[in-house]
Amino acid sequence: EWTAGNVAEELVEQVRAQVGSDRVLCALSGGVDSAVAAAIVQRAVGDQLTCVHVDHGLLRAGEREQVESDFVDATGVDLIVYDAREQFLSALAGVTDPETKRKIIGREFIRAFEQAARDVVEDRGDDEHPVRWLVQGTLYPDVVESGGGEGAANIKSHHNVGGLPDDLQFQLVEPLRSLFKDEVRQVGLELDVPEAIVWRQPFPGPGLGIRIIGEVTADRLDILRRADAIAREELTAAGLDRDIWQCPVVLLADVRSVGVQGDGRTYGHPIVLRPVSSEDAMTADWSRVPYDVLATISGRITNEVREVNRVVLDVTSKPPGTIEWE
């Protein structure tokens, strides 16, 4: 009988048999797949596992804390947070082209993770218990897509540790290889992964870096983070989280328009709301979010985020528009 409890137990046993007394490393992104994979491995081998969260500074409000506090409290994992915020910001300075941004973010992620991995290998490993395994949150659809079979793991761009150098050789632990997304969520709940992580909507690996149209700076990230937090809060309060596939909130950082607030003229930035409904993100339609919810979001953002004086709604389906703006 398929129950999340049975499956969790079985996966835990498999991991235990697979890694023995070796040490294990896992990159935690803040997303559901890596979190559930880590929870399984933690249940299996306890403190033989060390998780690394690379803080690239491109996450949304509260997401680092979700990993750093909530996830650690719930699962007891050994976690290292590698602060790479300055590194990412300086690498992104002056860059506006979307593909260039993505490449830089991918490259810096590998660089940061590699550095963190070396630290873990040095601090946690020894000859008898080498750090030999790397956890990947590969799901069944990823396995099928990449042709299946052992070793055919499709490492997604946001977990992209495929470019590790030869002197850091890991074998992969992939406890989610036989599961679909909804099964991963049920197993996650079974293993006490916090609900905010289990039910998180899709979020791109390059994070807010591709939701600022224009150069990514600390100030702009701060503006977008505050606006995004309001939009998420109100969509959740309206009970729309399960109806909406995801809702990118985008800052048009190089655009300004004239407005009026209080008795003064403003010259601020527009924020775009991009709520979409979708089955698989290959195609999407714009979500018909009720007008009163949109009005609340717009009112709160323009009131509470001083730099923003206009909120616009993206009513484009995919195709022709992609879900993300970059």
The CA distance from 211 to 198, in Å, is 23
Would you give the binding string for ligand XMP spanning residues 208-247, x where CB under 6 A is met? --------------------------------------x-
Q: Quote the least distance from Cβ 187 to ligand XMP, whole Å.
A: 20
Q: Are 91 and 199 in contact (CB under 8 A)?
A: no
Main-chain phi, psi angles of 17, to 5 degrees: -65, -35
Main-chain phi, psi angles of 184, to 5 degrees: -60, -40
Q: Which of these ranges, 92-100, 161-169, 184-192, 198-206, lies near ligand XMP under the rule CB under 6 A?
A: 198-206
Task: Give the number of C-alpha atoms closer than 13 A to the C-alpha of residue 172, restricted to the C-beta side.
Answer: 19
Q: Is 204 in the site for ligand XMP (CB under 6 A)?
A: yes
Q: Is 69 in the site for ligand XMP (CB under 6 A)?
A: no
The CA distance from 48 to 124, in Å, is 9
Q: Is 157 in the site for ligand XMP (CB under 6 A)?
A: yes
Would you give the binding string for ligand XMP spanning residues 293-322, x where CB under 6 A is met? -------------------------x---x
Nearer to ligand XMP, 17 or 282 (CB): 282
Nearer to ligand XMP, 246 or 298 (CB): 246
Nearer to ligand XMP, 262 or 320 (CB): 320
Nearer to ligand XMP, 207 or 268 (CB): 207
Q: Quote the least distance from Cβ 200 to ligand XMP, whole Å.
A: 12
**Residues within the annotated binding site?**
29-35
Nearer to ligand XMP, 46 or 202 (CB): 202
Report the b/e string of 40-68 with b at 16+ CB within 10 A: bbbbbbeebbbbbbbbbbbbbbebbebbb
Total residues binding ligand XMP (CB under 6 A): 13
**Residues within the annotated binding site for ATP?**
29-35
Give residues in contact with ligand XMP (CB under 6 A).
156-158, 202, 204-206, 246, 281, 318, 322-324
